[in-house]
């Protein structure tokens, strides 16, 4: 787990749960091929570059993972099958199938608890100082999922969002000609999500989970354009939402 700008003054706090495809050396390569480790099942390609760009542009705290979601998915609770997945998108993960209860517990302590502890620490410090705090989780998704058509360039996932996700959808639709998914291609649910329900919804903080289609983040230009677009839209959305809940 790493942080960037932990004391940043922006109202936004960003997370990037699936930032990396690295595997700790002691686990090896999970029994997977190089191609599989580069694919979307291992991480969210492009998401960390955008999250870092936003953290710098807005002077906002960012907490991000240093290891693959295949080692432990930081956005899946320990009760979820996806927490330490034995199968992901139809691909069996041999090292997880073989993981003992002790190994699972060791990964929980090494990765899950420090990551969510760091997010809680940053948020609680801000709330103690009455600093307005909006939590946005940055993800990317594959446009190429077997059996599904995914036309959206950006998906905004939100539920008990205090108006933030809905305002981001409205602004993106008003200011771009991109195809914007409103709770597409994913929805937040209590069985399979941790970051937004646990850190934002439970505390009543405005929030959104952003999904960027991976083919829009392949070039340097695509990443720069995405950072610029979100910097502007997030700035406008924060002003509206903070005014409304004041
Ligand atoms: Zn993700």
Domain layout of the chain by residue ranges: 2-245
Buried/exposed code over 37-55 (b: 16+ C-beta within 10 A; e: otherwise): bebbbbbbbbbbbbbbbbb
**Banded pLDDT at 154 (limits 50, 70, 90):** very high
Ligand 1 centre to CA of 83 (Å) is: 13
Architecture of domain 2-245: 3-Layer(aba) Sandwich (3.40)
Ligand 1 centre to CA of 246 (Å) is: 31
Strand order in the sheet with 12-16: 2-4, 62-64, 12-16, 134-141, 207-213, 154-157, 180-182
Ligand 1 centre to CA of 4 (Å) is: 19
**Banded pLDDT at 45 (limits 50, 70, 90):** very high
Mean of pLDDT values over 130-154: 93
Ligand 1 centre to CA of 141 (Å) is: 7
Let me know if 174 is exposed, middle or buried by CB neighbors in 10 A (0-12, 13-18, 19+).
exposed
Distances (CA, A) of 77 to 92, 108, 141: 20, 10, 20
Q: What angle do CA 78, 82, 86 make, to 5 degrees?
A: 110
Ligand 1 centre to CA of 45 (Å) is: 9
Mean of pLDDT values over 177-197: 96
**Banded pLDDT at 221 (limits 50, 70, 90):** very high
Ligand 1 centre to CA of 228 (Å) is: 21
pLDDT attached to residue 159: 97
Mean of pLDDT values over 2-25: 97
């Amino acid at each position: 787990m790493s942080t960037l700008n932990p004391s940043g003054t922006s109202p936004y706090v960003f997370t990037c749960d699936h930032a990396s495809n690295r595997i700790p050396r002691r686990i090896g390569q999970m029994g997977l091929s190089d191609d599989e480790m580069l694919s979307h099942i291992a991480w969210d390609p492009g998401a960390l570059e955008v999250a870092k760009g936003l953290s710098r542009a807005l002077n906002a705290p960012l907490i991000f993972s240093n290891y693959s979601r295949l080692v432990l998915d930081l956005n899946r609770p320990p009760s979820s099958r996806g927490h330490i997945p034995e199968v992901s998108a139809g691909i069996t993960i041999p090292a997880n199938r073989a993981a003992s209860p002790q190994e699972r517990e060791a990964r929980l302590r090494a990765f899950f608890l420090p990551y969510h502890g760091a997010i809680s620490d940053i948020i609680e410090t801000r709330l103690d100082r009455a600093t307005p705090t909006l939590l946005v989780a940055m993800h990317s998704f594959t446009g190429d999922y077997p059996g599904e058509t995914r036309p959206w360039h950006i998906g905004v996932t939100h539920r008990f969002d205090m108006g933030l996700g809905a305002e981001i959808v409205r602004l993106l639709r008003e200011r771009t000609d991109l195809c914007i998914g409103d709770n597409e291609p994913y929805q937040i649910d209590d069985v399979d999500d941790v970051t937004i329900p646990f850190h934002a919804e439970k505390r009543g903080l405005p929030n959104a989970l952003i999904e960027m289609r991976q083919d829009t983040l392949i070039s340097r230009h695509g990443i720069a354009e995405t950072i610029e677009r979100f910097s502007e839209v997030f700035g406008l959305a924060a002003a509206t939402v903070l005014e409304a809940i004041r």
